[in-house]
Amino acid sequence: MTDNRLIAALLGHQPDTARFLVTADGTEMSYGALRDRVARTTGHLRAAGVAAGDRVLCQIAKSPDGLVLYLATVAAGAVFVPLNTGYTGSEIDYFLGDADPALLILDSSTQDARAVAEARGVRVATPAELTAQGPKAEAVARGPDDLAAILYTSGTTGRSKGAMLTHDNLLSNAEALTELWRFTKDDTLLHALPIFHTHGLFVATNIVLMAGADMIFLPGFDIDALARHMPVCTAMMGVPTFYTRMLSDPRFTREALAHMRLFVSGSAPLLAEAHAEFEARTGHAILERYGMTETNMITSNPYDGDRRAGTVGHPLPGVEIRISAPDDQGIGVVEVKGPNVTPGYWQNAEKTAESFTADGWFITGDLGQVSDDGYLTIVGREKDLVISGGFNIYPKEVEVEIDALPGVVESAVYGLPDPDMGEIVAAAVVLEPGAVLEEAGIVAALSDKLARFKIPRRVRLLPELPRNTMGKVQKAQLRSEG
């Protein structure tokens, strides 16, 4: 057993007086204050009975408390499980049953889940209770292979699966990206991402901590807030939607962004056209990278050199990729190996076994090809994942809820291209004879079943779904028809 190297690397080297973040209303937190709050929150977690290896679920609105709770959970030796704030009570019930947590953290915006937790006998706490004044506790020693987090990602069977991330998974990725993207204590990151998934929590926050940098910590994406705060920043990380909306706003000119050092895009494919337009407008070539919940970041376009539009660059140091069973164009399934890769899925040995090759490579399910000079291009997805605004939506999860509605025979959910969101969720629905259900009624019926980002933006009522001779629904045809 070693010391808690992850916490030491993230919190052990910055001057107390250095600024860690400032919120949209001007409230600042120094690194000294962050360490103090993390130590006190670690003490509260220990006093609440949270032990090493326990899962701590957290569903709260984006705030500095969320970062304190993440760091304190890891410092306590427990496993942090952030949950999308859009998840409904029924969805939270599944996570409670699967993760078997010692604690669920809710704030005033997520109290709908309290009754579900109480019915299961799960203790509930608020951020205010856990960050209040109290005795401090030291970080618990953990090894590199101990779990630091579980991030739930949707499965094609309609049930979410928990990707386990170890201390070394997070530490190795933060170290590689901090160096690769040249982050230093002189950087100020514009942080407008959610902190319940990899991009906003582990990529953005861990890099800032590792570099001893600071950030403007916004509650979410707002174009006016971006324009207001960007003049004091040096870098921004975003999803493609951020950049398409910036391109539609005349304030983001070459002159206005001349002071910026780096723009990073991820979580969904960035259109080559958007990449070219952004560079022509601002003089900045967006640095696109590629990763997954299960692997953290895998590849990145170079900091120095050609940030090639439509590609996701080269493997990170220490990470390997290969293309499985490539066709005559070199296209095949991307597989990855390295210290960034999950050991598997929480309490799901079958899915874990399915996701790794016999020789230990993780199967991403993405189709890609590698150029002669080593740039990876993602050309499609092996499964019908929809990525809308950076969020992953698996069609089966939505189809199960639509099919359960009275009057519905069956449905097919798929993605449609959208210049703003990347993709939107669409559904083709077949009704029983005589059923009078309409698009608005279907959408309304799903509102308390699914997170808002999963609800179809377009619903088509069809007499039957298109199928091939084997009976498989032809989603490509549905996509072509809109």
Residue 26: pLDDT band (50, 70, 90) is very high
Do domains 5-143 and 188-381 share one topology? The answer is yes
**Radius of gyration of the chain from Cα atoms?**
22
Domain at 386-481: CATH architecture: 2-Layer Sandwich (3.30)
Burial of 379 (0-12, 13-18, 19+ CB in 10 A): middle
Domain ranges of the chain: 5-143, 188-381, 386-481
pLDDT at 156 over 60: no
Q: Where are the beta strands (DSSP E) in 15-75?
A: 19-23, 28-30, 55-59
pLDDT at 17 over 70: yes
Rounded to the nearest 10°, the torsion over CA 403, 404, 405, 406 is 110
pLDDT at 340 over 80: yes
Convert the pLDDT of each residue in 67-109 to its tens digit.
999 999 999 999 999 999 888 888 899 999 999 999 999 999 8
Q: CB pairs under 8 A, 24+ apart, for 110-113?
A: 110/59, 110/60, 110/61, 110/85, 112/88, 113/59, 113/87, 113/89
DSSP sequence for 419-433 = TTTEEEEEEEEEEPT
pLDDT at 192 over 90: yes
Domain at 5-143: CATH architecture: 3-Layer(aba) Sandwich (3.40)
> If you ran DSSP here, which 8-state letter would residue 470 be given?
T
Q: Which residue has the tokens 């947590």?
A: 101
Domain at 188-381: CATH architecture: 3-Layer(aba) Sandwich (3.40)
Convert the pLDDT of each residue in 99-125 to its tens digit.
999 999 999 988 889 999 999 999 999
User: Two tokens at 357?
Assistant: 């090759």
